[in-house]
Amino acid sequence: MNSQHLPSFSLDGKIVVVTGASRGIGRGLVDALAAAGATVALTARSSDEASTIAAQVVAAGGRASGHVMDVADVGSINAAFDDIAQQHGRVDVLVANAGLGANHPAVDVTEADWDDMMDVNAKGLFFTAQAAGKIMLEHGSGRIVAMSSQASLVGIPDHAVYCASKGAVNQLVRVLALEWGPLGITVNAVAPTFIYTPGTAERLDDPEFRRGVVDRIPMGDVGTIADVAGAVIYLASDAAAMVNGIVLPVDGGWTAQ
């Protein structure tokens, strides 16, 4: 058997940065990436949270380090990547997961609502990718996986700002893929549907709300963190070496309609 023709999904030896790692999808991604063999440099806004999660990963047999980062603050982003590069020597993969979600009717959106969402979801994503990209460009290789949303691909009532911010993520991914692909760095996004997490449980445990969501998903259920992690690990791995500039829905078919 010729092993060069077999795809590898292993992340052994890879330094993987995960932003927004303190809860929800980000927290689950930390465990999944560590289980795939990565050394996870996880970030959170709180030093205590970051160090506690890193210690939990190590106690479970994985490799991790915790770092402070507020993606709404470019200075904080750059300082965190300086710290990560000093500790690990390089960055092989960025999983730009940090994001803000909120819903309000368009007529009720304030300037602060707009600025808060765009600062995290659009500006934060760009400058996080830029900081990681600078390190990756020095080594001539890397993977960037941005967390988008099905809301970037279809309109969802009462989510005008969120949809706009995630649409911006998709366009940034495409442009960065064109600029950095020839230099050895792939840039892609994962676009999940409603995912059951501790943060979404309150809404998704409401039978009426859940039924309204599930009725839109041909697979007949909401997603899990493991569903998202599978897509992220694929795009982060050597198996996806020729995948660049895509937005991969993990939505049970919602956006196929």
Catalytic residue IDs: 162
* C-alpha span between 194 and 27 (Å, rounded): 16
Taking alpha carbons only, the member of 194, 233, 198 closest to residue 93 is 233
* C-alpha span between 76 and 73 (Å, rounded): 5
Taking alpha carbons only, the member of 97, 108, 124, 123 closest to residue 195 is 97
Pairing mode, strands 247-250 and 93-96? unpaired
Question: What are the CA-CA distances from residue 115 to residues 106, 111, 128, 150, 154 (Å)?
Answer: 14, 6, 17, 21, 22
Please answer whether residues 250 and 186 qualify as being in contact, where contact means their C-beta atoms are separated by less than 8 angstroms: no
